[in-house]
Amino acid sequence: MERSAALDAVFEPVAPPTTFEETVERLGTAIRLGLLAAGSRLPPERDLARELQISRSTLRQALTTLVQSGHLISQRGRGGGTFVSAAPPLAESNDGPPLGSETWAVLDERVAVESGAIILACERASEEDTGRLEELVERMANAEDFEEYRRADMRFHIGLAEAARSPRLITSMTEVQGQMSALIARIAHPEQVLNRSNAQHGRLVALLCRRDSRRAVRLMRDHLEGTEHILAGLLPAS
């Protein structure tokens, strides 16, 4: 595959801790901008994983996500491989960031609200609070469809604000979750993304129980950053 400088940037090493989500963003954005042309074949998994400096299992999860979202197709047998879809979701131009300013405003507000909630929840959460959050993690793990998952997901994040014992935070969290739902509804919801997200939910509850606010804030930031990468990679053009 002949590469431009812009395409070379797509295949630069991916940095942890959001390697899976950033890989989805990198490839999804490259497809949407036409840097990876419709019908073109991606490098073999082994070569692509080496270039991105990620594990092959992480790469496979990212590729599966992009197949499920319609960006890629996977073909087996002779001449098989992973190809850009014949009609991928393309952006209208190559100018500007993949997410608009209003979307970034929502995401920035979410960082502020969620970070504040997790700090106070670590200080104030009761066993009853953490028990409810654990039940919501279990409900997401057993959800039969995305709508069921998303309802429990929103309730989880609002539950963090409730555990913070702050009425204003509860109001802000409810508002930002509504705004996030409008964004999330516009993308595909691959199982890999939901499973990884809910695993982080479970770890957040464990940190709440230990009242480890430092690690909880760091994990929450990783959690939110992962969503940002997924939205940037999968959100269709306006």
The CA distance from 218 to 63, in Å, is 27
CB burial readout 116-134, b (16+ within 10 A) else e: bbbbbbbeebeeebbebbb
Question: What's the pLDDT score for residue 136?
Answer: 98
Nearest to 142 by CA among 207, 181, 198, 204: 198
| Residues 18-47 pLDDT 10s | 899 999 999 998 888 788 888 999 999 999
Q: How far apart are CA 186 and CA 203, in angstroms?
A: 27
Name residue 69's amino acid: S
Cβ atoms of residues 88 and 226 within 8 Å: no
* Dihedral angle over CA of 207, 120, 118, 186, nearest 10: 150
Q: Say if CB 71 and CB 137 are below 8 A apart.
A: no
Set out the domains of the chain in order of their start, with CATH numbers. Answer: 5-84 (1.10.10.10), 101-234 (1.20.120.530)
Facing residues of 140 across strands? none
For the chain, which residues score pLDDT lower than 70? Answer: 1-3, 89-99, 236-238
**Nearest by Cα to 194 from 238, 233, 141:** 141
How is residue 4 written in tokens? 């431009």
Count of CB atoms within 10 A of residue 100's CB?
12
Residue 225 pLDDT: 95
- Tell me the pTM: 0.81
Tokens read off for 132: 């409810």
Residue pair 118/158 in contact by the 8 Å Cβ criterion: no
